[in-house]
Amino acid sequence: MKVIFPDNSVREYSDGTTALEIAKSISERLAKEVIAAKVNEELVDLNKKLDGEVSLRLIKTDDPEGLEVLRHTAAHVMAQAVLRLYPDTKLAIGPAIDNGFYYDFDLPESLKPEDLEKIEAEMAKIIAADFPVERYEMPKQEALDYFRSKGEKYKIELVEGLEDGNISFYKQGEFTDLCRGPHLPSTGRLKAFKLMSIAGAYWRGDSSREMLQRIYGTAFPSKKALDEYLFKLEEAKKRDHRKLGRELDLYDLLDEGPGFPFFMPKGMVLRNILEDYWRQEHRKRGYQEIKTPIILNEELWHRSGHWDHYQENMYFTKIDEGNFAVKPMNCPGGMLVYKRKLHSYKDLPQRMAELGLVHRHELSGALHGLMRVRCFTQDDAHIFMTPDQIKDEVLGVIELIDDFYKVFGFNYHVELSTRPEKSMGTEEQWETATKALQEALNARNMDYRINEGDGAFYGPKIDFHLEDSIGRTWQCGTIQLDFQMPERFDLTYVGSDGEKHRPVMIHRVVFGSIERFIAILTEHYAGAFPTWLAPVQVKLLPISEAQHPRVLEIEKQLEDQGIRVELDLRNEKIGYKIREAQLQKIPYMLVIGEREVETGTVAVRSRKDGDLGTMQLNELIERILNQVKAHQ
């Protein structure tokens, strides 16, 4: 048997040698570290016998695939523990998922959060026993007979849906489960886990079927990695934009408008700063701003392709007996703006930007604060160009997005998404468009991942995934190259040859949506926005009523300089006022007492640096204006 390793080195072994035996032949240490193998790109157990010519990659727990194997085994260990504690339980399914695993159970009683500790303790016993995790197969009919003997109705239904032939099982100690695998070699290899929560889940996601109890958990290769993850979770709870939005009085979601956010005065200040910055930066780069209607007739959406490819996400209405749709995207309106006039190649590229309000139907269970809403403002732009301008325009958008994200302190990674299964256009058009995006990324020496089949229905795209201050990633900016819309809308320009030609088009966003970006910023900064973004930059705190006249003078001086200021004239102790201002995460607190009135100074407390002592008001004004100018 010939084995080809990832570095293209080749070794020969006897047919029937397992991946574990190959690992041991390299080093005993490696054999202790690996948990699975990738054979000819298929993930398999270490004890699978190999033959012929194979490519082999040995998988450790710190590999993404290894983490999935680890968590899948953790789900089985949890199911074994639940069966030990609740023997009448019926098993459903238990996969690994992002950041963890779950298992669905039909239990004789309702679990409570405190029951998770009991299940964890039983899991620890199973891990300590270090049961080998063994794979075996049986014919479909035998599998059905086995589960019927156990009364496992959910497993019976799963097996009935499988093709005839042998079906794989995994056994550890007294526990056996239907499973494709692969798994850890033994339960003792599971080092660090935590059960997180209990939720309800319909069998097979069907609300007409049985309601099961789902236990969520997570597992990591080490206790240190688990502790870091749990710390991030706690930090994320503190940073939850829904909680902070209410506490800081920025925005809210009310029962009267599920999925339709309300912005309060302070939230509007933040929103307007972002929009003003967006406009300023786009003007610098030759964009013209437009505004298109929210409701447009049905025919337009047939023409754009949204009727066939996006109808389930749209809202509809009737006007004067005609059928209309509320726009889920801004692009068809942008097409109509371009189409109004005859264009020459000398007019191109044309960059049209729009802060456009769109509505999309989201299921109520998918709604999540400002992150997932039913109406939001996309910072769209549509760039119309000649084919030879594609590379430069894509590079220009990449540079714009890069500049924006640096201002907010975000690192990011890039993904190139290719043609999806449901799409418009020819193979040649898609190949040309995808190649153009790759060339632009390569020209900037950017690292990027290929995301197969995740492009828009009308073209490939580059997606920008931000990393926030606690390491989470968010997809925001996108650049989509489109040969289809110009075709559907019969867009043209007159070339240097005097003939009509079809323009190429870019769809792009930077923020993604204003609402979602505000949510991300709120969590990124934990509500402590930098001075330039803070809805209130300065809080004035007089010690007593005697200082009110001076405080009002200071308020006017700050406002005259464009500084956002708020007064606290309540008859409360100064310590209480300072604590309140700190909870509101205001960058600067100015304490004004009798001495400050006499000397014409202010006592300054910084949210970031603490007590800065007394200073002249002009000195503070200069400090704040410099921070605003530098976007700090």
Same fold, 65-236 and 251-295+327-524: no
Q: Is 80 a catalytic residue?
A: no
Superfamily of domain 65-236: Threonyl-trna Synthetase; Chain A, domain 2 (3.30.980.10)
Upstream peptide bond of 328 is cis (omega within 30 degrees of 0): no
Return the half-sphere exposure (C-beta side, CA atoms, 13 A cut-off) of residue 570: 12
Q: Is 584 a catalytic residue?
A: no
Choosing from 266, 507, 508, 516, the catalytic residue is 507
530: region left, alpha or beta (phi > 0 left; psi from -120 to 50 alpha): beta
Q: How many residues does the chain have?
A: 632
**DSSP label at 453?**
T
Q: Is 463 a catalytic residue?
A: no
Check residue 220 and give its pLDDT. 95
Choosing from 380, 463, 468, 482, the catalytic residue is 380
Domain ranges of the chain: 2-56, 65-236, 251-295+327-524, 538-629
pLDDT tens by residue, 36-49: 989 998 899 988 88
Superfamily of domain 251-295+327-524: Bira Bifunctional Protein; Domain 2 (3.30.930.10)
Check residue 459 and give its pLDDT. 84
Check residue 587 and give its pLDDT. 97
Choosing from 71, 76, 382, 585, the catalytic residue is 382
What CA–CA distance (Å, rounded) separates 314 from 311? 5
478 contacts 508 by C-beta, under 8 angstroms: yes
Choosing from 80, 172, 213, 378, the catalytic residue is 378
Q: Is 360 a catalytic residue?
A: yes
Q: How many CB atoms lie within 10 A of CB 304?
A: 23
Check residue 499 and give its pLDDT. 94
Check residue 311 and give its pLDDT. 86
- CATH level 2 (architecture), domain 538-629: 3-Layer(aba) Sandwich (3.40)
Q: How many CB atoms lie within 10 A of CB 194?
A: 18
> Amino acid identity of 169?
F
Ranges in the chain, pLDDT < 70: none
CATH class of 2-56: alpha beta
What CA–CA distance (Å, rounded) separates 153 from 157? 6
In sequence order, the β-bridge partners of residue 42 are 39
Choosing from 306, 360, 508, 564, the catalytic residue is 360
3-state DSSP percent of the chain in helix, strand and coil, to 5: 40, 30, 30
* Integer CA distances (angstroms), 529 to 234, 522, 586, in order: 20, 7, 8
* Integer CA distances (angstroms), 219 to 89, 199, 290, in order: 23, 18, 50
Choosing from 80, 104, 266, 331, the catalytic residue is 331
Check residue 259 and give its pLDDT. 93
Q: Could you please report the per-residue DSSP string of 466-517?
A: EE-TTS-EEEEEEEEEESHHHHHTT--EE-TTSSEEPPEEEEEESSS-HHHH
Sequence-separated (6 or more) residues with CB below 8 Å from residue 588: 531, 537, 538, 539, 604, 605, 606, 607, 620, 624
371 contacts 342 by C-beta, under 8 angstroms: no
Q: Is 331 a catalytic residue?
A: yes
